[in-house]
Homo-oligomer: A and B are copies of this chain.
Amino acid sequence: MIPTIEWDAKTRTVKLIDQTKLPGHLEYITASTHAEIGRIIKNMNIRGAPAIGVAAAFGMVLAAQENQNQNFEHFIKSMHQAANLLKNTRPTAINLFWAIKRMLKIIPAEKSDIEQITERLLEEALQMWQEDINCNKAIGKHGASLLSDNDVVLTHCNAGSLATVLYGTALAPIRWAIEEEKKKIEVIADETRPRLQGARLTAWELNYDKIPVKIETDNTAGLLMRKGLVQKIIVGADRIVSDAVFNKIGTYMLAIVAKYHNIPFYVAAPSSTLALEQKESDVIIEQRDGQFEVAKIMGIATKPIAPNGVECINFAFDATPMELVTAIITEDGVFSPKELLAHYL
């Protein structure tokens, strides 16, 4: 396991794994401005709600560094501009807004020393970085109690170490069960069209850490469940509202199919993903470029798979209603949908 994102104290820059190069090559990007962080989030060199949150926090640190020599008023204005730029990179990930809000709170309203504010912002970002790792390990520990020896666990997209700073959310219980509890667990990763994060990222990170993993096309999950080859499903979440879980497109179908087979369907996510004051109908689902992501398979296809002029529908996320969710695993424990509301509202 390698951290997805790190602060380089010497150069005061941010070092990130370039996830668009996986699974072929492990390469890093260094960012020294908040605009670079914005581009990196938008282009999905980094992705995964928790990782995006921490990246945005470091982006705010970089913005402060960029504005060291401004007067205080201009500094404040620049910081809010930076916050807006970062907020406009991805519309669905709640952690992004949460992280930026938390960073903005650090900045005092009354005139203060900019250098000191910058250091406080850095401390806060580093704390969020560490909190993410601690949080994921707690999710892992709570979630591992749901896994039995010899379970085959199906997951969708990548809610692994690469979606967080380290350790992952949906993959955390699997990691904990294997590493801390010595259970034998195998993983099946949905390839996860259109961006193929399951095949490219989940399979890569588990294989890198020698955890047994196989890839399937998303539409194979039903057959494997029917054959009794899947015992549990764990997915991550981009946003959890009072009545639904927003996660990568395809999660909803997987949850329906799990229910049909009486297979437990778990959602593992930090409590920062919770937006329980909202409901399913409040959330606008991001639609992305279907000609690029679907027809050209994100540029890796030598020829488009769709005929010229035919629209490719491309919703990035879907909503899974709580009636299909067996339990939600956060850093605070394992909760039924009802218990989740009672605990956090």
Contact = CB atoms under 8 A, between A and B. Distances in A.
Interface of A: 22-24, 188, 190-194, 196, 199-200, 203-204, 207-208, 213-224, 226, 249-250, 252-254, 256-257, 259-260, 285, 290, 294-295, 297, 300-315, 318-319
The A interface is mostly helix, strand or loop, or mixed, namely mixed
A49 to B, nearest CB: 19
A311 B226 contact: no
Contacts of A213: 310
A33 B312 CA distance: 40
Contacts of A297: 297, 300-301
A256 B252 CA distance: 12
A239 B257 CA distance: 23
A325 to B, nearest CB: 14
Given A203-B310, A305-B199, A310-B207, A294 B191 contact: yes
B200 A220 contact: no
A220 B222 CA distance: 15
B215 A311 contact: yes
Contacts of A301: 297, 300-302
A252 B254 CA distance: 12
Given A203-B310, A305-B300, A313-B215, A257 B253 contact: yes
Contacts of A190: 219
A24 B302 CA distance: 11
Contacts of A222: 250, 252-253, 256, 318
Contacts of A249: 217, 219-220, 223
A223 B285 CA distance: 10
